[in-house]
Chains A and B, each alone.
Chain A
Amino acid sequence: MKNLMKKGNTIFFKNAPRITSYAAICGSKEKIGVIGEFADITLDDDMYGETTYEKAECKMLANAIALAIEKGGYKEDDIDVLLSGDLLNQIISASFAARKFNFPFLGVYNACSTMSESMMLGAMMADAGYVKRAVAATGSHFASAERQYRYPLELGCTRPPQSQWTVTGAGGCVISSDGDGVKITSATMGRVCDYGVTDVNNMGAAMAPAAAATIIQHLKDTGTRPTDYDMILTGDLGALGSRIVKDLTWEKGFDISSRHVDCGEIIYKVIESEFQGGSGAGCSAVVLNSYVLTKMSSGLYKRILFAATGALLSTVSSGQGESIPCISHAVELEY
């Protein structure tokens, strides 16, 4: 084939769509971490002036989208489609945020890997010429996720040491077929992996095989080595999951340990009640759209593989004793 568009599970973008602008909002706990100075808005009040946490999450997401559009110097009419999703049932934050905007909305859900999935879909549309500019965005909130997946906030129970802390934050970026910025050169669609982990508090161990499979698939399809990348960025595996993913890829002959960074592991400064680090859809979205893209735009990193990971469970499935199927999609970024 002359114009190789797809090999294995990896799609190659001929016209290399660009991330022309990006924005991130984070909560008070995230503010003191590494991303605090790179995020556009940092909240002191996790309620964000709203009456419920769900409304706060929705407002964060809507403001992240609006800010990403504004920072790129665009108007609402310049945007052709919004791709967004979140962790709440029926992706209410994303759909409710979308009603504030005057452009079409496509809801996507892939748990915590929603950011890389929406970026991939946005890049596909922009590359094929169906849209000129797409916005990819996602977010999560600790309190609303805790209420949906675990216990009430004020319940006095202990957290197991392998648990993670859902990130309060939202991030979005504009993917454009023209303009300047970080290029999206290829993307690998992930397969659902399930190794039989049933412990809902141990997301890192459940998601690591999916991340490893996608990273290896991408390296094989593109014929690259881990050292060709400045950073291999996973979403929210946490400290435990990061150790496992390094082991799993090493076992298959790809040593990513010198290049691997996990958003969940680096997002919090003090690992105290967060234990293994951050998690949630907002985790990778905030880190990517603040710290990583800022550093890339300044030329510090040239080539990054961004593989966000998601655990596709619900409280019903885990209640019925099902194991946790997980997925990871990878997007390759170049500057």
Chain B
Amino acid sequence: MTGKVKGNVNENYLNYVKTQEPPTKHFKNCAAAFGVGGLICCIGQFIRFMLEYAGLSGDELAGATSVILIFLGCFLTGLGVYDRIGRYAGAGSIVPITGFANSVTSPAIEFKTEGWIYGMAAKMFTVAGAIIVFGVFSGVLVGLVYYFI
């Protein structure tokens, strides 16, 4: 690898390509994300109400709700439905906890062909690993800020 060669970069061409590229439909994407993301949260809230009605409370309630949502995310991924939702909803189905479940389950399914240990188990976190690392890191930062104020 020679690294990026400055002489290779043709600024004129790159600017020209930018004018030809189809624009990303930000408004439509945001609206779809808002709708689907909101719907997933509503389903979560509904499950929460039902569990509360069944007699759970506090941490148990929050935990049980998350577990059910994670199960639904994994289940729909296994059925091959979640990626279709994700194609249209974008961030709406990636950000909630079901999206995290999807990002763990999908590589697990994909790499199962390479064996249970080095395939499925080792590559399960290829996508979710980044979410975990930066999730924990930002959690620590927020915790520190919270500790000092």
Contact = CB atoms under 8 A, between A and B. Distances in A.
Interface string B1-29: 10110001111011011001111110001
Contacts of B90: 157-158
Contacts of A243: 20
A197 interface: yes
Contacts of B102: 154-156
Contact of B9 (A51, A320, A323): A323
A323 B4 contact: yes
Interface string B68-97: 000000000110101111111110011000
A247 B86 CA distance: 35
A100 interface: no
Interface string B108-147: 0111010000000000000100000000000000000000
Contact of B8 (A151, A152, A194, A320): A194
Contact of B20 (A160, A244, A273): A244
A333 to B, nearest CB: 30
A154 B105 contact: yes
Interface string A212-255: 00000000000000000000000000001001100100000000
A317 B83 contact: no
Q: Interface size for chain B: under 10, 10 to 19, 20 to 34, or 35 or more residues?
A: 35 or more
Contacts of B84: 156
Nearest to A160: B24
B106 interface: yes
A162 B77 contact: no
Contacts of A54: 113
Given A195-B14, A322-B4, A155 B20 contact: no
A155 B24 contact: no
Interface in A153-194: 153-162, 194
B110 A162 contact: no
Contacts of B111: 152
A73 interface: no
A51, A158, A205 — most chain B CB neighbours (10 Å): A158
A51 B114 CA distance: 11
B65 interface: no
Interface string A52-72: 101000000000000000000
Contact of B110 (A147, A159, A194, A195): A147
B37 interface: no
Contact of A196 (B13, B23, B127): B13
A262 to B, nearest CB: 15
14 contacts: A51-B113, A147-B110, A152-B107, A152-B110, A152-B127, A154-B83, A156-B94, A158-B88, A161-B22, A195-B9, A196-B11, A197-B14, A247-B16, A275-B22
Sort A-B residue pairs by CB-CB distance and give the 6 closest, nearest first: A156-B86, A196-B9, A154-B106, A152-B110, A152-B106, A195-B10
Interface of B: 1, 3-4, 8-11, 13-14, 16-17, 20-25, 29, 77-78, 80, 82-90, 93-94, 99, 102-103, 105-107, 109-111, 113, 127
Interface of A: 51-52, 54, 147, 151-162, 194-197, 202, 205, 209, 240, 243-244, 247, 273, 275, 317, 320-323
